[in-house]
């Protein structure tokens, strides 16, 4: 396949979901795509609205992060959705282009009715998103070469644990680089939790939960987030 460029993926989100969009961009970058994320791409002094409109038009695919907050909020996200839907009509039938990505259980905007979505709060959500974008890359003959972070902590994890009352749970955790440390986000039982992570010999997280993960030599993490409540993280490969 030709290697003219990486698959360009525009990541659209409401301001309330910015931290979760950081996760999406981090995972897609490691998977070998070129995510267009305004935090990284917009330079001071540029006409941000014109720059975003141009990025939407040039993108090979668009991922729209959808949450309960974003679907009820009026703002520029709605304009991005309208622009993306207009460009989507120009795509070949059956082409992967517009992907609604639900960050939590919620309805999709009426305008997206009939568009297949992906649930990023489910453990298989990110792999499915990557799979769909790989299909798009193959269709337009763009090679996809994963580029995992040099930092072994960064990535997607399967989370398994038990609550203090003995009940078990499973979900996913994404650790992304953020402000010289880490953004740690849990997607468990249809809920989202966020913390700032600081690594020394261990990974200490502070936010919706405050506790410390022990890190073993294989990159697995384990921590007690409440008395008798243990959580274990197992890193997933990009092709899992």
Q: What is the pLDDT of residues 157-216, one digit of tens each?
A: 999 999 999 999 999 999 999 888 999 999 988 888 999 999 988 999 999 989 999 998
Considering its fold, how many domains does the chain have in total?
2
Q: Is residue 145 part of a domain?
A: no
How confident is the model at residue 56, as a pLDDT?
77
How confident is the model at residue 63, as a pLDDT?
93
Tell me the residue range of the domain where 85 lies.
8-139
Cα 225 to Cα 168, 229, 230, 231, distances in angstroms: 14, 6, 6, 7
Chosen domain end from 74, 106, 139 = 139
pLDDT: which is higher, 22 or 239: 22
Read off the CATH number of the domain in which 200 is found. 2.40.128.120
Least confident of 16-25, 108-117, 148-157: 108-117
pLDDT: which is higher, 195 or 55: 195
Q: Is residue 1 part of a domain?
A: no
CA angle 23, 118, 100 (to 5 degrees): 80
pLDDT: which is higher, 221 or 216: 221
How confident is the model at residue 203, as a pLDDT?
95
Q: Is the pLDDT of residue 101 over 60?
A: yes
Read off the CATH number of the domain in which 80 is found. 3.40.50.10140
Q: Is the pLDDT of residue 42 over 60?
A: no
Q: Check if the beta carbon of residue 16 is closer than 8 Å to that of residue 70.
A: yes
> Of how many residues is the chain composed?
240
β-pair partners for 211: 205
Do 122 and 12 share a structural domain?
yes
Q: Is the pLDDT of residue 2 over 50?
A: no
């Amino acid at each position: 396949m030709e290697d003219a460029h990486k698959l360009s993926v525009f990541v659209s989100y409401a301001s309330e979901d910015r931290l979760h969009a950081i996760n999406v961009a981090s995972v897609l970058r490691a998977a070998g795509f070129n995510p267009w994320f305004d935090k990284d791409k917009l330079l001071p002094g540029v006409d941000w609205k014109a720059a975003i409109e141009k990025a939407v038009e040039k993108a090979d695919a668009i991922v729209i992060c959808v949450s309960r907050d974003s679907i009820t909020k009026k703002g520029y996200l709605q304009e991005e959705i309208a622009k993306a839907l207009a460009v989507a009509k120009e795509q070949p039938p059956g082409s992967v282009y517009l992907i609604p990505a639900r960050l939590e259980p919620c309805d999709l905007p009426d305008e997206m009715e009939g568009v297949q979505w992906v649930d990023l709060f489910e453990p298989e959500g990110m792999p499915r998103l990557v799979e769909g974008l790989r299909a798009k890359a193959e269709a337009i003959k763009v090679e996809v070469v994963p580029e995992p972070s040099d930092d072994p902590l960064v990535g997607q994890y399967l989370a398994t644990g038990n609550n203090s009352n003995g009940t078990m749970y499973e979900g996913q955790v994404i650790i992304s680089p953020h402000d010289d440390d880490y953004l740690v986000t849990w997607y468990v039982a249809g809920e989202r939790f966020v913390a700032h992570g600081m690594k020394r010999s261990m990974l200490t997280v502070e936010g919706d939960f405050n506790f410390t993960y022990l890190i073993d030599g294989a990159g697995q993490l384990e921590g007690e987030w409440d008395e008798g409540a243990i959580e274990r993280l197992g890193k997933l490969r990009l092709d899992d």
